[in-house]
Structure 1
């Protein structure tokens, strides 16, 4: 399935594999000769050394990767900004920067914070609202777990996007176990019936040597084309 210029990568929750999925998307697109930029509106946890942009660059190789604002505590953006005494940029500022990056790259991958409706600014704006700012130039990729509970969480995320009339490219399973059982295989089939299943990222993929990660990304994301 061909990706548009702007792809917003959201998750059904925190820790579902958004960063690794974003890195795999970047790798797969770069392998096809596409230029890629990654934008993270709000990066939390800098005091603990968390940097999704750094991790994506480590795995995917050299590319443009930047955060709109960097916050110290590993919290959602609004409480983290309050502790830092920082004013969060408005969604319009993030949208403007994404459009700037899109003017000089074939694709911009925008990685959200936590789930779809986590607030990114003081006005309650979310990644879904950022998608509205970007309009029909953008689509969403939803990263989900294969484990128990994922059907409800994924259906709720997809419904929230649909109610806002936002484009959905498909679903990626962000952490596929080495030895999946009936539960994981059943969830994989059910999620694929909800929306196109763009790919499956193996558990511990981030532990692979970066060269191996890059070579495997297109195989993992077999439902994506440039």
Structure 2
């Protein structure tokens, strides 16, 4: 984590949790707040808090919303400690994903004729395309499909029937490096280890922490 979880995250999660009674989700406003809380609740699920930790977290948010005085001194000190605890847990949780990702990437290089770069990215050019290749500072238009190493698809512009355009240096490092290897009309398969993707934090709920990602990317066009 590069910064402490914002208060909004904590507050949103607790709004539907600080009351011991089961909340009745009836009106559109109820459903709106419930949906926000559910999103962040799923995010906190990855941290694997025990019951005591959940209760302490809820109490802290509730007191912050309703009381002027905290139950502990120097709340910022403990907020930074929270960051460190969560970072440690994320690293521990992602260890298995990373190990499986290494095996998958090595098999891809060995069995599918992939190439591994100095950064750890693995790729196989399906179609090299033609002409000049994009630079990291260029804006590219692509079609793509992304899966986990078990084949679970988490995103696809093909399914949306709409290509996506973005500056190549504003995405995950594996994309920035890999898309520069093909020209217009080219297609490449990328196997991206977590350190070049979403790291220990992942991108829940679709991408777990430490996950190695597989992309097929088709470069439609690019511009300076």
Q: Identify whether the pair has TM-score above 0.5, normalized to the shorter chain.
A: no
TM-score (structure 2 length as normaliser): 0.26
Instruction: Tell me which of the two structures has the higher relative contact order, counting C-alpha pairs closer than 8 angstroms and 6 or more residues apart.
Output: 1
- Give the alignment's TM-score, normalised by structure 1: 0.26
Structure number with bigger Rg:
2
